[in-house]
Structure 1
């Protein structure tokens, strides 16, 4: 998308984001989906850095208002680096909506714009939020969040083996989304700050993939 030269202060996580998209939908015929997911995922560490590191309070207020209004004219008030980033969000969302309407006959732009109403800054994490709201210890909050994860995994697995109003492939993609999200976030932030395990996984899957071809005896 050409964002790196224009937003040089932000982390460039292209390989990690592509690895994430492969974890969601890996079949060869869905390369177009992986490209779209990668573009969206790349925007996540950038918006974190814009809100947490680089943007001033006044700039962030203007940017948040622009995203919430989804009005292209509103970017005139933004600084140059925010104009580039807003157009990246805007163009990607409209491109996905166009492709979905053209190929599937479904108009999804309202859902994409709703998902893009970003509220960052001092974002409370799930464990810290539960500790504050319920006056419990870290251990108690951690145990509660783990129980929620377990219950939701049970629901996902139940849908996979019983009748569902959703297509089977949609259910599998939703399950894969949970799997790859767990890989990236249950042991820290492997997307924003990849550890050696994440780097090794990317290397062995994408850079120098392990051969699965059968060899003649």
Structure 2
């Protein structure tokens, strides 16, 4: 069902290019959440008291702190204890666990350290193997250990056969055990088998895990209460931002009058929220959402509406980046072009004086994006199917990853922002890998849905054409390539330690693809499939 006050979309309510209308309309402009049992002031005071209680928990022994950090991450409140977690992981990295440590403990330590850029060898799991090099049978009856091993092993880099073996082993035995497990562990195993934890959208996982944690016997009531309070307090922040950006978009969408584009402001904000959900990151959250909306307008114009001459002219105007270039454009694109320039000018003007963010990098990223769109349009105009490699090299960038990644850098600490911004703008391997994952998952979803007549051939189609294989074979091959790109992303944590905060956010873009293109559906384009997630994140308090 549509949210209260919003009519559900019907098949005939599509625009002239076949896109569904917005599921939300003015919902977040008008929405007034129901008052909670306590005032926001009380919630803040109570949360502050609970945070002090949690800080005291970091005085425990090392193995207990491993469990504490893992629980905080699952509950989505690790952002409140960054200093304590940093110190804990440093201590844990310098001290190996005792020989009596369980598989659960060892895998948890491995996972936490690798996630945070500390290298740990896969050899730590050798003690759970026999003389023949295979895992001991006695660990197959420990589902929580197998689950931890399965999740941890997905942080593998290139050429780590031990972790590939661990994934296969753990998955097999988790599948055998899954029918006999009880909740909440059964639900956690089911989610992990669908999508391992390092690739799961953190905020959606938090929604699931708060419910799971409440079911666990012996759960810590302090952590649970703080998680609920923090989620609801952040939801208030996100609702205010949703109202503001919906108002911004309502003016822009109505003013430019392009009825063929996807109306996806709430979905764009949600995508940005997946990357940056914490309270202090309003600026990058809003910039990312706006860039996604502007990219969507450009993408839909090049893909579904403009003639090839109009595409060439729009490309030239964007490269010139000057209001005088508006004379190059057809009448229907002039307002949009002026608003594109104005949007960037407004971002620059509104940038806080203490944030050293050079918007020239973002402008260049958009210009490169448009150059790629023109190449796609030329291919489509000539009915040309490029080689699979040529297609991927181009479209992994036109999917918007470089632009979004440059947008993310507005959230970096000033000490590394200049370096991180320049590094990201040069499109390093980690950005390319994130872009390929988004592109491949997008193309698989698009192939399942069926593409628009004017769309350039997808990577799936290019692979089918070049290698003369069926769609099933092509899609399976693309999934193999996705796995390879995940290894590149995991490797980036250790190759770019000085820029780890930037690397972590870029990886979160790849993580977001698993939400946006889950089950081979494109919930950005077919947004009715995204409605329940959006309601859980923003409409329904815990």
Quickly name the TM-score band, shorter chain normalised: 0.7 to 0.9
Q: Aligned residue for 1:13?
A: 264
Which of structures 1 and 2 has the larger relative contact order (alpha carbons within 8 angstroms, sep 6+)? 1
TM-score (norm 2): 0.35
Report if aligned partners of 2:317, 2:328 keep a CA contact under 8 Å in 1: no
Which among 368, 392, 408 is matched to residue 114 of structure 1? 368
Say whether 1:35 aligns with 2:286: yes
- Spell out the pairing of 1:37-186 with structure 2 (5 A cutoff): 37-93=288-344, 99=351, 103-104=355-356, 106=358, 108=361, 109-117=363-371, 118-119=373-374, 120-121=376-377, 122-160=455-493, 162-186=494-518
Task: Tell me if structure 1 keeps the 8 A contact 2:258–2:332.
Answer: no
Structure 2: segments with no counterpart, 5+ residues: 1-247, 378-454
Q: State the aligned residue count.
A: 208
SS in 2 for 1:4: helix
SS in 1 for 2:527: coil
- Post-superposition shift, 1:12? 1.1
Report the equivalent of 1:200: 532
Shift of 1:103: 2.2
The residue that corresponds to 1:3 in the other structure is: 252
Native 8 Å contact 1:40 1:92 kept in 2: no
CA offset at residue 140 of structure 1?
A: 2.1
Q: How far is 1:44 from its partner? A: 3.2
Distance 1:148 1:191 in 2: 23
Structure 1 portions without partners, runs of 5+: 212-217
**Residue 215 of structure 1 corresponds to which residue in structure 2?**
none
Using the TM superposition, give the Cα deviation of residue 133 of structure 1 relative to its aligned residue in structure 2, in angstroms.
2.5
SS in 2 for 1:195: helix
Paired with 1:97 and 1:165, the residues of 2 have a C-alpha distance of 29
For residues 97 and 144 of structure 1, the distance between their equivalents in structure 2, rounded to whole angstroms, comes to 43
User: How far is the alpha carbon of 1:181 from its aligned partner?
Assistant: 2.0
**Distance across 1 between alignment mates of 2:273 and 2:526:** 19
Q: CA deviation at 1:31?
A: 0.4
TM-score normalized by structure 1?
0.81
The CA RMSD measured in Å over matched residues stands at: 2.7
Measure how far apart 1:203 and its partner are.
0.9
2:297 is paired with a residue whose SS is helix
* Alpha-carbon distance change, 88 to 147 in structure 1, aligned in 2, over 3 angstroms: farther
